[in-house]
Chain A
Amino acid sequence: MEVTQVLLNAQSIDGALRTNAEENLKQFQEQNLPSFLLSLSGELANEEKPVETRKLAGLILKNALDAKEQHRKFELVQRWLSLDANAKSQIKACLLKTLSSPVSDARSTASQVVAKVAGIELPQKQWPELIGSLLSNIHQLPAHAKQATLETLGYLCEEVSPDVIDQDQVNKILTAVVQGMSGSEGNTDVRLAATRALYNALGFAQANFSNDMERDYIMRVVCEATLSPEVRIRQAAFECLVSISSTYYDKLAPYIQDIFNITAKAVKEDEEPVALQAVEFWSSICDEEIDILEEYGGDFSGDSDIPCFYFIKQALPALVPMLLETLLKQEEDQDQDEVAWNIAMAGGTCLGLVARTVGDDIVPLVVPFVEENIAKPDWRQREAATYAFGSILEGPSPEKLIPLVNVALSFMLSALTKDPNSHVKDTTAWTLGRIFEFLHGSATASPIFTPANCQQIVTVLLQSMKDTPNVAEKACGALYFLAQGYEDVGPSSPLTPFFQEIVQSLLTVTHREDAGESRLRTAAYETLNEVVRCSTDETAPLVLQLVPVIMLELHNTLEGQKLSSDEREKQSDLQGLLCGCLQVIIQKLGSSEPTKYVFMQYADQIMGLFLRVFACRSATVHEEAMLAIGALAYTTGPDFAKYMPEFYRYLEMGLQNFEEYQVCAVTVGVVGDISRALEDKIVPYCDGIMTQLLKNLSSNQLHRSVKPPIFSCFGDIALAVGEYFEKYLMWAMSALQRAAELSTHTAGDDEMTEYTNSLRNGILEAYSGIFQGFKNSPKTQLLIPYAPHILQFLDGIYMEKDMDDVVMKTAIGVLGDLADTLGSHAGSLIQQSLSSKDFLNECLSSEDHMIKESAEWAKLAISRAISV
Chain B
Amino acid sequence: MAPHDLRRPFKRAAISDQQKRRELSLLRQAQNRRDAQQQARCLASSILSLQSPVPESEPEPEQPDIDLETAIEAEQESGASSKDLDVRRASKLRGPEVRKWFARQLMLPEWMIDVPDRLSQDWYVLARPSGKRCFVVSSNGTTVSRLRNGSILHHFPSALPAGAKTRDGSGSAQSYCILDCIFHELDQTYYVIDVVCWNGYSLYDCTAEFRFYWLNSKLEESGACSPPSYYHKYRFSAVPVYNCDQNGLYTAYTGVVPYAKDGLLFYNKHAHYQTGNTPLVLVWKDENCSQYVIDTDSKGEIPSQQQVVLELQDNGKLATSDDPPVVFGCLDADMIQQSGLDSGNLLRFAISDGGLSFSDGKLEKADLNYLGKSNRARAFADSYSKILFQYTVRHSPLKIDDLLASINSPDDQENKSCDMEMAG
Residues of A within 8 A of B (CB): 151, 154-155, 196-197, 199-200, 235-236, 239, 242, 273, 276-277, 280, 283, 335, 339, 341, 345-346, 348-349, 426-427, 430, 437, 474, 477, 480, 522, 525-526, 529-530, 576, 580, 583-584, 587, 624, 627, 630-631, 634, 662, 666, 669, 672-673, 676, 712, 715-716, 719, 765, 768-769, 772-773, 775-776, 813, 816-817, 820-821, 823, 856-857, 860-861, 863-864, 867-868
Contacts and interface: CB of A to CB of B under 8 A. Distances in A.
B165 interface: no
Given A666-B22, A820-B45, A242 B207 contact: no
Which size bracket describes the interface of B in this complex? 35 or more
A587 B22 contact: no
Contacts of B375: none
B80 interface: no
B206 interface: yes
Interface string B185-220: 000000000000000010101110010001000000
B32 A673 contact: yes
A864 B205 contact: yes
Contact of B36 (A669, A676, A867): A676
Contacts of A196: 1
A583 B16 CA distance: 15
Contacts of A823: 45
From B7, B33, B45, residue with most partner A Cβ within 10 Å? B33
Interface in B384-424: 424
Nearest to A335: B11
Given A154-B1, A775-B40, A669 B18 contact: no
A587 B24 CA distance: 10
Contact of A627 (B8, B21, B43, B44): B21
Contacts of A273: 3
B424 A719 contact: no
Given A474-B11, A863-B210, A529 B33 contact: no
Given A583-B21, A669-B25, A199 B207 contact: no
A197 B1 CA distance: 9
Interface of B: 1, 3-4, 6-8, 10-11, 13, 16-18, 21-22, 24-26, 28-29, 32-33, 36-37, 40-41, 43-46, 84, 201, 203, 205-207, 210, 214, 270, 272, 424
Contact of A867 (B16, B21, B214, B270): B270
Given A151-B1, A349-B8, A624-B18, A719 B206 contact: no
Given A772-B40, A820-B41, A276 B206 contact: no
6 contacts: A199-B4, A200-B1, A526-B16, A529-B17, A773-B40, A776-B43
B45 A716 contact: no
Contacts of A772: 37, 40-41
Contacts of B26: 669
B41 A863 contact: no
B1 A857 contact: no
A424 B206 CA distance: 71
A584 B21 contact: yes
A716 B41 contact: no
Nearest to A768: B37
Nearest to A669: B29
Given A236-B3, A775-B40, A864-B205, A672 B33 contact: yes
Given A775-B45, A860-B201, A719 B24 contact: no
Contacts of A480: 13
A335 B33 CA distance: 45
A390 B330 CA distance: 97
A387 to B, nearest CB: 9
Contacts of B46: 864
Which residue of B1, B10, B33, B43 has the most chain A CB atoms within 10 A of its CB atom?
B1
Contacts of B8: 283, 346, 349
A673 B22 CA distance: 14
B4 A239 contact: yes
Contacts of B41: 772, 813, 816-817, 820, 857, 861
B6 A277 contact: yes
A242 B205 contact: no
A719 B29 contact: no
Contact of B206 (A155, A339, A477, A863): A863
Contacts of A437: 13
A580 B18 contact: yes
Nearest to B218: A856
Contacts of B16: 526
Nearest to A473: B11
List 5 A-B pairs, minimum CB-CB distance, nearest first: A772-B40, A526-B17, A864-B205, A341-B7, A196-B1
B6 A276 contact: yes
Most buried by B among A239, A820, A868: A820
Contacts of B24: 587
A867 B210 contact: yes
A437 B11 CA distance: 13
A480 B20 CA distance: 13
B25 A813 contact: no
Contacts of A817: 41
B149 to A, nearest CB: 30
A821 B40 CA distance: 11
Given A712-B33, A768-B37, 18 more contacts: A239-B3, A273-B3, A280-B6, A341-B6, A437-B13, A474-B11, A587-B24, A634-B28, A715-B33, A719-B37, A775-B45, A820-B41, A821-B45, A856-B201, A864-B46, A867-B205, A867-B206, A867-B272
Contacts of A576: 18
Nearest to A345: B10
A216 B45 CA distance: 71
B21 A529 contact: yes
A280 B4 CA distance: 11
Contacts of B45: 775-776, 820-821, 823
A775 B39 CA distance: 12
A669 B31 CA distance: 12
B25 A631 contact: yes
Contacts of B21: 529, 580, 583-584, 624, 627
A333 to B, nearest CB: 14
A672 B37 contact: no
A817 B41 CA distance: 7
Nearest to B42: A857
Nearest to A865: B205
Given A477-B13, A666-B22, A864-B206, A242 B29 contact: no
A863 B203 CA distance: 10
Contact of A719 (B36, B84, B201): B36
A666 B33 CA distance: 15
Contacts of A151: 1
Given A719-B40, A860-B201, A627 B1 contact: no
Contacts of A155: 1
A376 B33 CA distance: 58
A678 to B, nearest CB: 12
A232 B44 CA distance: 72
Contacts of B28: 587, 631, 634
A813 B38 CA distance: 10
A627 B25 contact: yes
A676 B3 contact: no
A477 B11 CA distance: 10
Contacts of B272: 867
A722 to B, nearest CB: 10
Highest count of chain A CB atoms <10 Å: which of B11, B17, B26, B210: B11
B201 A857 contact: yes
A673 B29 contact: yes
B25 A860 contact: no
A118 to B, nearest CB: 16
A630 B22 CA distance: 11
Contact of A769 (B37, B201, B203): B37
Given A672-B33, A676-B32, A630 B17 contact: no
A580 B17 CA distance: 9
A761 to B, nearest CB: 10
